[in-house]
Amino acid sequence: MTQATISRRGGGHTRPRRSGARKGFWAALPTPARLGILTVVAIAAWQLYVSLSGVDALLFVGPVDVAEHLVAGLADGTLTQATLTTLRILGLSFVIGAFVAVALTMWAMWTQFGSDVLTLLGATLSPIPGLAILPLAMLWFGISTTSLVVVLLNAIVWPIAYNLRTGIETISPTIRAVSRNIGLRGVREAVAVLLPGSLPYILAGLRSAWAFGWRTIVGAELIFGASGQGGGIGYYLNQQRFFLEVANLFAGLVLIAVVGVLLEWLFAVVERVTVRRWGMQASA
């Protein structure tokens, strides 16, 4: 006999637990407040370390110096232009990669041959780091934007394709059968049923692809910088290393992190106004 049964029969005095546990002070704070407090504490600890440790300014600088150089770099356009160049190349690669991923996945869902091609290409190319393809891309296309796009495509295509394939496979067979009974096939079925029904997985794939792509392009630009090709934020970091501008190096790293946080926030907003509002969570 369970405790709940005893309580209902009057044979026990145990009070039923409330469905929601009482939140502590920290958990009761809004998410922006919690993250803001943690950020302030981290910055304060950083500044305290620099002030008390006596670390050489050629090796490590404090947040005040970093903030000054970050504002100066944004104001004179050096950091702004470098960041926009990187985002432009990443955005172009993202659009191409998403189109390729959707085309490959649709082909895989419609034909066995396409499924085998996607499985083979994914198993072969997905484990290869994007930067490992860079030397070959430079031989083929030289030190150019095309080489960066080729490297980024390998980082972007597979997270989107794998997540989209999983999303389509989770769509109810009944829904797919009904859509075919009313004449939806091929591209029409993909646009009306498969892609909308896979939206949670698509967003997860896009978020993963963005993260892989952002890290890959910064690393590739660092190598391009060593080869003499300028332009993006990675090249900017490489140049500051040559001139021992540690504060500018930190400023560039902080900007990379800030851009990453902002784009993660953008994905979270899109997910909130679509997937969560429509009750399409992948876990549901």
Q: Quick check: is 44 in a domain?
A: no
Q: Is residue 219 part of a domain?
A: yes
Quick check: is 140 in a domain?
yes
Give domain status of residue 103, yes or no.
yes
Copy the structure tokens of residue 207: 């978020």
Q: Quick one: pLDDT at residue 284?
A: 38
Say if 167 falls within a structural domain: yes
Q: What's the mean pLDDT when you consider all of the chain? A: 82
Question: Would you tell me how many other CB atoms lie within 10 Å of the CB of residue 268?
Answer: 13
CB 72 within 8 A of CB 86: no
Q: Rounded to two decimals, what is the model's pTM?
A: 0.77
Question: Per the domain annotation, does 32 fall within a domain?
Answer: no
- pLDDT in the model for residue 277: 61
For residue 14, being part of any structural domain is answered with no
3-state secondary structure the chain: CCHHHHHHCCCCCCCCCCCCCCCCHHHHCCHHHHHHHHHHHHHHHHHHHHHHHCCCCCCCCCHHHHHHHHHHHHHHCHHHHHHHHHHHHHHHHHHHHHHHHHHHHHHHHHCHHHHHHHHHHHHHHCCCCHHHHHHHHHHHHCCCHHHHHHHHHHHHHHHHHHHHHHHHHCCCHHHHHHHHHCCCCCHHHHHHHHHHHCHHHHHHHHHHHHHHHHHHHHHHHHHHHHHCCCCCHHHHHHHHHHCCCHHHHHHHHHHHHHHHHHHHHHHHHHHHHHHHCCCCCCCC
Q: 163 is written with which tokens?
A: 């997540």
131 within some domain: yes
* Structural domain boundaries enclosing 269: 63-276
The share of the chain scoring above pLDDT 70, in percent, equals: 85
Ranges of the chain whose pLDDT falls below 50: 1-14, 16, 19-20, 282-284
- The domain tally of the chain equals 1
Asked if residues 192 and 119 have their Cβ atoms less than 8 Å apart, the reply is no
What CATH number does residue 257 fall under?
Answer: 1.10.3720.10
